[in-house]
Amino acid sequence: MSIVVKRLGRVDYAPTFQAMQDFTATRTAETPDELWIVEHPPVYTLGQAGKPEHILRDVGIPLVQIDRGGQVTYHGPGQVVIYLLLDLARRKIKVRELVSAIEQAVIDLLGNYGVTAERRDGAPGVYVGPAKVAALGLRIRNGCSYHGVSLNVDMDLAPFAAINPCGYPGLQVIQTRDLGIPLTASEAGEQLSQQLLQQLDKHHG
């Protein structure tokens, strides 16, 4: 079953989060899966396991409490976010397989530019050396996923310094621009969505 790719541009976080919840709540067995490619204005999102003390200081960036797994992260301009609105039961894909497929899509994208990236046990996301380049968080409801993956492309990384990213004090973050990959956030979004579609194609039921 084909996947609808929507390019929503730069959109506020809270209404996008609401739209994902509404889409998932109202979808039926016939609803096509969707990928939403977005950028967000600066925002911290705090997952269900998130502890407010991981926000080290107030730098004037709004905080939204959300229902994905995981801790606090930062979204901002120059970071591409892809939300995966998938019927996992219909695709016959398990959550762990989906996480692995998302990570592999990022690894393959960076690999196309000669950058070696890897997973880290117990810490979802994609890393280049000690530094995190992509963060991942999902929520599954009625067998369907929402939330997704963010890839740091060409952004101001300073807001990460005001938090313990994903709950890890002093976790370094990196972006593709600093790895010598000449992509804009929107170009990275196109390429990452293609990699995701390839990975999901291997898993359809």
Binding site, annotated residues: 68-75, 135-137, 148-150
Q: Which of 99, 163, 166, 192 is catalytic?
A: 166
Active site residue 144: no
Q: What are phi and psi of 87, to 5 degrees?
A: -90, 95
Contact (Cβ atoms closer than 8 angstroms) between residue 150 and residue 16: no
Contact (Cβ atoms closer than 8 angstroms) between residue 47 and residue 137: yes
Contact (Cβ atoms closer than 8 angstroms) between residue 6 and residue 36: yes
Q: Which of 106, 99, 105, 94 is nearest to 132 (CA)?
A: 106
How many other CB atoms are there within 10 angstroms of residue 64's CB atom?
14
DSSP state of 148: E
* Beta carbons within 8 Å of 37's beta carbon, 6+ residues apart: 5, 6, 7, 8, 80, 81, 82, 186, 189, 190, 193
Summarize the annotated binding site for substrate as residue ranges: 68-75, 135-137, 148-150
How many other CB atoms are there within 10 angstroms of residue 82's CB atom?
23
Q: Is 153 exposed, middle or buried (0-12, 13-18, 19+ CB in 10 A)?
A: buried
Residues with catalytic roles? 166
